Homo-oligomer: A and B are copies of this chain.
Amino acid sequence: MSKIKVGIINVTGYAGVELARILGQHPEIKLTSVTGRSAAGQTLAEVFPHLANLNLAITTELGDVDFAFSALPHKESSKECLPLIQGGTRVVDISADFRLKDPTAYPAWYGFTHPAPELLKQAVFGLPEIYRSRIASAQIVANPGCFPTSAILALAPALKAGIIEPEIIIDSKSGISGAGRTLTLSTHFSEVNEDVSAYALDGHRHLPEITQELNLLNPNQAVKVTFIPHLVPMTRGILTTIYSTFKTGKISRGKKKKDELLTLYRDYYKEMPFVRVVDFSPHTKYTLGNNNCLIHPTTNPGGDKLIVFSCLDNLVKGAAGQAVQNMNLMLGFPETMGLEAPAIFP
């Protein structure tokens, strides 16, 4: 029995190389092709010495594969994926190009006209905890952004249960690798080390994606999201802190409330292997290199606010790990296959 041949388009960014790391250990597929642009012609080991064991050359063209991941930036990704899709290859796209259902969102938020708006309906938003069965049969899976993953998972049980008002504050803290491998002053070590700052104050591109999905969770109520991302001086990890207000009478007052919240969240995620609802303040460090998302729902001393903390590794559950989780569902493998390794701590 020959293994399924899998390829990665643009292996040289952080999502791409993390895909290669995870796929290289997957027991049921074979990573046979990885592409890059400036690095084409080099071996993967030359560019990423930690992957020397994979023995792969970086090429310009993907070649013959059974399944493809795209880790290209937005706009370029859809352009390169289209021929594959038309040829029948199943694709997980890590870029934003198939995440938004509304084609007009692309010129507005990403500055380009979508080349195949008819595919947006067909593509499935690749958050397995919400869309597991649809992912299984999809041809195109749009892998969610790192911030949206942390925010949607933190809010889904509360929105589904209808216990919160539509005003939602999402304050996210991200490690620097989220900004990618492209050289910029805002990822230059001496400028961001020993520093915290907010960015994208005029609206981060993940906002329409968050809003779209939160609204789908509870179509009776349009959310009003304020989302501010911050950069913190560490390589990996996102902690998202969410503030919203309970609807009156939807959840008990007093000490029981925290237990009710834990129960609500644990019930919601009881079949989801990568979401851990915890009764303590989660640390990003508990997810380093691992596909888990830790969620802690709680309330303020006054008891009128829902406060949720969620944390994950932005390159794993926030990108490559989730992409492999999607692949597992699409190919009928156990959802956790190749993703079982615990976090590296400390």
Residues in A lying within 8 Å of B, measured CB to CB? 14, 17, 21, 24-25, 48-53, 169, 171, 173, 175-177, 181, 183-185, 187-199, 201-203, 207, 224, 226, 228, 230, 232-237, 239, 241, 243, 276, 278, 280-290, 294, 298, 300-302, 305, 307, 309, 311, 340-346
Contact = CB atoms under 8 A, between A and B. Distances in A.
A197 B234 contact: no
Contacts of A173: 173, 196, 230, 232
16 contacts: A50-B285, A50-B344, A169-B169, A171-B241, A176-B193, A181-B185, A183-B183, A183-B185, A189-B192, A195-B285, A196-B232, A197-B283, A198-B239, A198-B281, A201-B307, A341-B341
Contacts of A343: 50
Contacts of A234: 193-196, 232-233
Contact of A346 (B191, B311, B341): B191
Nearest to A305: B226
Q: Please state the number of chain copies in the assembly.
A: 4
A281 B188 contact: no
Contacts of A235: 189-190, 193-194, 346
A345 B192 CA distance: 11
B196 A190 contact: no
Contacts of A185: 181, 183
Contacts of A344: 21, 50, 288-289, 344
Nearest to A177: B190
Contacts of A346: 14, 177, 190-191, 193, 235-236
Contact of A190 (B187, B207, B224): B187
A311 B190 CA distance: 19
B190 A181 contact: yes
A243 B226 contact: yes
A186 to B, nearest CB: 9
A308 to B, nearest CB: 11
A176 B190 contact: yes
